[in-house]
Amino acid sequence: MYVYLNLIQKKGLQLPGRFGEIKVFSGTSHPKLSNDVCTNLGIELSKAEIFKFDNDNTFVRILNNIREQDVFVIQPTDKPTNDNIMELLLCMDAAKRASAGRVTAVIPYFGYGRTDKKDQPRVPISARLIADIITTAGADRILTIDLHAPQIQGFFNIPVDELTATPILVDYFKKMKKDFVVVATDVGISKKARDFAARLSSPLAIIEKRRSDNSGNVELLNVIGDVKGKTALTFDDEIDTGGSLVQAIGALTISGVIEVFSCATHGVFSGDAIEKLSSIKILKEVVVTDSLRKKDGNGKIKYLSISSLIAEAISRIQSGRSVGELFK
């Protein structure tokens, strides 16, 4: 999949691009991922000074010459979400003022992604506001992974490349050689779950649910599809508090599944999510990517690396090659 990038690495070269060489910077949200991306690119992580003053103001200073270079700032915007967003904005502004040729915001996990529409009176569309702020701060393009809602791409007036971790997850579960039934944890994710199931050559079931309030509490309705006596593989874009997943597993247990595996691109794991999931005997493994920093937990949580995927996308963006071809 990444033959072209590997060839460039072996020769110690960077591909020519309109905006000079690749310069990758990291915020403080996930420096390990940034370092892994640079390892895959065969370059060093560019240096920046980032800290907070005693008054809680954030300071950013870029320590490398990036004039007319192709700058990529890697920063998932998870908890503390507002701090991480602010860091990203300041890094991009600093890059622009340092005469960077182009600035790409690499946001593996897009915070506020679940507030993508006005679903009740007098509420903001936070995802749209964040998109506007990121663009104003100086981003020329966005690189992200598995947005909660595809319409978020349209909130930006700049190019957006949305990668997907689906092939990475599919490859992992194919090696298990189990007869899974893929279970979409709600109707909204069913389209992506259908593609996931097709890649696994597995049938699809859907859990119909509705949220009862703004706190994230969920009232499950029913399981649509035949799951009795089967191994269920739940699929979602993220696992946050784990409440939805716990109730989904409960519904699947009542419907007669023999064991459950779960997967998602983003392992947010807020609060006691890992403890809740670890206590469920029928749940054998929870598989997520390292789009966010790893959380402490027991052996049920498995992390898959996305650093090579991001590195290949960065290489393609810099050299003007298609990013979409990665998933054909």
Q: Please count the other Cβ atoms lying within 10 Å of the Cβ belonging to residue 121.
A: 5
Q: What whole-number distance in Å separates Cα of residue 104 and Cα of residue 169?
A: 26
Mean pLDDT by 10 residues, the chain (328 residues): 53 62 97 98 97 97 97 97 98 97 98 91 95 97 96 96 97 95 92 95 89 60 90 96 92 95 96 93 97 86 97 96 89
**What is the helix, strand, coil percentage profile of the chain, to 5?**
35, 25, 40
Domain architecture of the chain: domains with CATH = 3-164+307-327 (3.40.50.2020), 166-304 (3.40.50.2020)
Does residue 209 carry a catalytic annotation?
A: yes
Q: What's the pLDDT at 319?
A: 94
Q: Which strand (E) or helix (H) includes residue 322? A: none
What was the pLDDT predicted at 251?
93
DSSP codes, 135-178: HHHT-SEEEEES-SSGGGGGG-SS-EEEE--HHHHHHHHHTTT-
Catalytic residue among 52, 209, 294, 302: 209
Region of 42 (left: φ > 0; alpha: ψ -120 to 50; beta: rest) is left
Distance CA(310)–CA(291), nearest Å, equals: 10
